[in-house]
Amino acid sequence: MTKRGIGRIVSSFEATGLDERRWNALASRGTNSVFQTYQWHRSWWSTYGNRYEPVFVTVSDGHGTMGVAPLYAERTPAGNRLLKFVGGSRADYCDLLSGGNADTVASMLRGLSDYGAWDVVDLGGIPAESPTVPILTALCEQAGLPIIVRDQFVCPTLLVRGHEPAARRLMNKPSLRRRQNYFERCGQLTFRDVTSAAEIEPHLDPFFRQHTARWQTTTTPSLFHEPSNRAFYRELMTRLDGTGWLVFTLVEFNGQPIAFHYGFDYNETLIYYKPSFEPALATRSPGLVLVRHLIRRALQDGRRELDFTIGDEAFKRRFTNAVRKTVNVQIFRKPALYLFERSRRGVISAVRRAVTKVRTSS
């Protein structure tokens, strides 16, 4: 039987009792993506943490730390105090570092209940298949804490290992080969995957500029307009140096970058994270040339999958063969807030259904 630990609140990484190695070992026993690593959390906190109050819930059995809920507190415009995942605003997948152990999660929940300085625990980006979801649901029901679990994002992925023939067929689709053939006919097309900070750093500013130009004519401008977001990508590059987890891809045509990709290679998975392409060449689809290269790399390196992560963009569905999703879990201390949120969501759902009905009948 697992020994039940004690949950307590600490306010720094050092106070969790975990160094980089032990944090990552704990993260590997649960939702094991680059977004759970110590490097990710420290990079995010170093960049954005001065805006927030840390609320790390640690669970110890007296011999060592068995789990961490890496959270921070923020106030809503209405004055309610929310607890959210550290790193969550830039992560595609988030989770408690509990190894999926129900006793550890129970200790976290007791620690939060004893702490009391919160109105809503708002946990976004949890993979739907994570054991955290049913464990929290059952524990909250037992404790009489109102909880809402809702679907959040669709996450298409290309399963590669065991599906190699299908992955090769996708890589060799005429729509992908045609784009690459155009550039190869007209000049020299090259691909480079670099992993060290020294190799990546000279290309970050061109990457930021290209991404900004790509999105400037849309309704969703580039996140790199914000200096803090550029700082986060630099900080993460530095902290991941030497791990091999950060893979920065350059697609160059006649020596000029026509596409970039700031992605990851972690836990046998190639992760599609932040791409960009030269907007002046949009009709030639350099972004699809990049996608073909990433499929090829996943095949050559024997990766389990090429994970396109959150977002249901049409192009992802063309080059993937499986779909997952993430969920948002909200835990409420006050029944009134729960009832308000449930009512608000009901109104939103009703409006969406009405709009859908009008569109389908017109």
Q: Give the DSSP per-residue string, 345-362.
A: HHHHHHHHHHHHHHHHH-
pLDDT at 260: 98
Beta bridge partners of 322: 157
Do the domain assignments include residue 29?
Answer: yes
pLDDT at 355: 62
pLDDT number for residue 209: 98
pLDDT at 352 over 80: no
Specify the pLDDT at position 275.
Answer: 98
- So what's the pLDDT on residue 359? 56
Q: How confident is the model at residue 256 (pLDDT cuts 50, 70, 90)?
A: very high
* 172 & 242 share domain: yes
pLDDT, one tens digit per residue, over 94-115 is: 999 999 999 999 999 999 999 9
User: DSSP string of 267-326?
Assistant: TTEEEEEEEEE-GGGGGG-HHHHHHHHHHHHHHHTT-SEEE--S---HHHHHT-SEEEEE
121 near 87, Cβ under 8 Å? no
The model carries a pTM of 0.94
The count of domains in the chain is 2
Spell out the residues 6+ positions from residue 142 whose beta carbon is closer than 8 angstroms to its own.
none
Tens-place pLDDT, residues 130-149: 999 999 999 999 999 999 99
Mean pLDDT of the chain: 94
- The model's pLDDT over 42-82, given as tens digits with 9 standing for 90+, comes to 999 999 999 999 999 999 987 889 999 999 999 999 999 99
CA distance 42 to 25: 16
Residue 312 lies in a domain: no
* C-alpha to C-alpha distances, 157 to 144, 300, 304, 321, 323, nearest whole angstrom: 37, 17, 10, 6, 6
DSSP 4: P
- Per the model's pLDDT, the better-predicted residue between 360 and 96 turns out to be 96
Find how far residue 210's CA is from the centre of its chain.
Answer: 22
Q: Each residue of 15-52: pLDDT tens digit?
A: 999 999 999 999 999 999 999 999 999 999 999 999 99
Quick one: 330 and 298 in the same domain?
A: no
Helix (H/G/I), strand (E/B), else coil: 226: coil
What average pLDDT does this structure show over 266-288?
A: 97
pLDDT score recorded for residue 360: 56
pLDDT beyond 70 at 312: yes
The position carrying tokens 């017109």 is 362
Residue 120 sits in the same domain as residue 173: no
Q: What is the pLDDT of residue 63?
A: 82
- Verify that 17 and 114 share a domain, yes or no: yes
Which pLDDT score is estimated for 1? Answer: 34
pLDDT tens-digit series, residues 1-14: 345 688 999 999 99
Domain residue limits at 334: 6-154+325-361
pLDDT exceeds 80 at position 356: no
Q: Are residues 202 and 299 in the same domain?
A: yes
Q: State residue 2's pLDDT score.
A: 43
pLDDT tens, position by position, 177-236: 999 999 999 999 999 999 999 999 999 999 999 999 999 988 999 999 999 999 999 999
Same domain, 147 and 103: yes
Of 40, 113, 41, 30, nearest to 67 by C-alpha is: 30
Q: Do 144 and 179 sit in the same domain of this protein? A: no
3-state secondary structure of 69: strand
| pLDDT higher than 90, residue 287 | yes
- Residue 244: count other Cβ atoms within 10 Å of its Cβ: 12
- For residue 114, how many other CB atoms are within 10 A of its CB? 11
238 and 294 in a single domain? The answer is: yes
